[in-house]
Amino acid sequence: MAAACRLLDAGSQVTLVEKRPYLGGRAFSFTDPATGQEVDNGQHIFLGCCVYYIDFLKRLGAFEQARLQPKMRAPVLSPSRGAGLLSAAPLPKPLHLLPSFLSYRLLGFKDKALALYALVKIALTDRTRPALAQESFGGWLRRHRQTRRSIDNFWNLIVKPCVNDDVDDVTAAMAIMVFQEGLLRTRGGSRIGYARVGLSKLMGDAAQEYIEARQGRILGGRTAVSLQSDGRRISGALLSDGSAVRGDAYVSALPWNELASILGPELEGQPFFQPMKGLKAAPIVNVHLWYDRQVMDEEFIALVDSPLQWVFNKTAILGRDDSGEQWVTISLSAAFEYVDKPKKALEDSFVAAMAEAFPRARDAKVKRVLVVKQNRATFRCVAGSERLRPTAKTPVENLFLAGDWTDTGWPSTMEGAVRSGDAAAEAVAGSFPP
């Protein structure tokens, strides 16, 4: 979507082929038949440092339908030890987080002192050092004397939802990037944002309108099945309905495994397209609960000492008045242990976990439960994965790559996706003589 919009802005004629009947890819929403409500395939958040994504929403005219906190504020709850708060103070960066960090109740004095030492180290680290792309962040944290408590109650609290992997799996390079860009580089970078409408309305529908208003052509419900080429140039893309699309340049914004399956005999053996096959995916599970009453007050809350990771108050976020009822979404990142479990088992354990964390949930009636599993939610930023991510420009003269998994320097995020689309559009423009 980002590549198509950029190319249209630059005056190109664009045809966008999408296998599903709607745009939005892995960030979409659907109507829950039981409640009639618009449910996201997974709660998506963005941060103030996601400047390409924010700009994309603004260009689509969709930013008004999202909320970005004026200053960072993240309430944290431990069912056994009470509440904590991470928030930004009116101080110059990187000191803006210091007051709330010092008063953060879920870490002890020693945890905090050592965590501050690690944050200073992170601020001063060149994250492009090759060794950091091979080491896990967990290893890096332990090497920098971080306590188990600070790993659980601070580092993983941030890394897991941002990168969809545990600190012990994600590379030190990518986790350091998250802290440098999100927390330390600017005061506003860590502000949290989210959609106030269903994701399809926010992005897919808005992008479709944008593209069609500029005479872009969208071929929805059609799959690209094969690229025709002589190994040096693409001459067409064959679609599932038997038709072919032809153009001067071709941008693939497919996930890597889908791209590998359509390359065709002339391209599939080329060295450039081999490394991407080594990328791995990680799952996300969302458990939606509709209560007969209000069980939480905040718009979202992060949890420690609990299987609940982040809980979102969808009733408040979407501004709905449901006559006192409340819809909450439990967002479970790096959900390897949950993705294959029966939905009923997840329902039982997360209803119980909610009751443990939120006293008002104990007497509340759960009117509906919906479990949404996304097996291949994000690509994994694990040791060695950085060198598997290709550039937008390929050795094939008129083939360009986009997708969050390409070489953006970002984890699997909407920000990475928009950056990749912009980079692909720029590479297309650069391939034509002025």
Ligand X SMILES: Cc1cc2nc3c(=O)[nH]c(=O)nc-3n(C[C@H](O)[C@H](O)[C@H](O)COP(=O)(O)OP(=O)(O)OC[C@H]3O[C@@H](n4cnc5c(N)ncnc54)[C@H](O)[C@@H]3O)c2cc1C
- Please report, as ranges, the residues that interact with ligand X according to CB under 6 A: 17-20, 25-27, 41-42, 44-46, 223-224, 253-255, 258, 262, 284, 374, 377-378, 403-404, 412-417
171 versus 294: smaller Cβ distance to ligand X: 171
- Residue entry with tokens 């479970």: 332
State the nearest-atom distance from the C-beta of 293 to ligand X, in Å.
27
Q: Closest distance between ligand X and the C-beta of residue 346, in Å?
A: 15
Render 129-171 in DSSP notation, one character per residue: -GGGGTSBHHHHHHHTT--HHHIIIIIHHHHHHHHSS-TTTBB
**What's the min distance (Å) between Cβ of 284 and ligand X?**
4
Task: Give every CB contact of residue 369 below 8 A, 6+ residues apart in sequence.
Answer: 287, 288, 289, 290, 343, 347, 351
Residue closer to ligand X (CB basis): 66 or 361: 66
Nearest-angstrom CA–CA distance, 193 and 5: 22
Q: Which helix (H) or strand (E) holds 62?
A: none
Q: How far is the CB of 219 from ligand X (least distance, A)?
A: 9
Count the neighbouring beta carbons within 10 Å of the beta carbon of residue 366.
16
Nearer to ligand X, 101 or 405 (CB): 405
Q: Where are the alpha helices (DSSP H) in 252-404?
A: 256-262, 265-268, 314-317, 343-357, 359-363
Tell the smallest beta-carbon distance from residue 200 to ligand X (Å): 11
Count the Cβ atoms, other than its own, within 10 Å of residue 397: 13
Q: Which is nearer to ligand X, 377 or 425 (CB)?
A: 377
Question: Using CA atoms, how far apart are residues 372 and 216, in angstroms rounded to an integer?
Answer: 33
Q: Which of 186, 179, 162 is nearest to 124 (CA)?
A: 179
Separation of alpha carbons 299 and 314, rounded Å = 7
Q: How many Å separate Cα 127 from the centre of its chain?
A: 21
Q: Could you count the other beta carbons within 10 Å of the beta carbon of residue 236?
A: 15
Cis ω before 94 (30° cut-off from 0): yes
CB of 417 to ligand X, least distance (A): 3
Assigned token pair, 118:
């690690």
Nearer of residues 169 and 404 to ligand X, judged by Cβ? 404
Which of residues 254 and 346 has its CB atom nearest to ligand X in the complex? 254
When the beta carbons of 254 and 361 are compared against ligand X, the nearer one is 254
Q: CB of residue 62 vs ligand X: minimum separation in angstroms?
A: 15
Distance CA 114, CA 153 (A): 13
Q: Which is nearer to ligand X, 96 or 419 (CB)?
A: 419
Q: Compute the least distance from the CB of residue 246 to ligand X, in Å.
A: 16
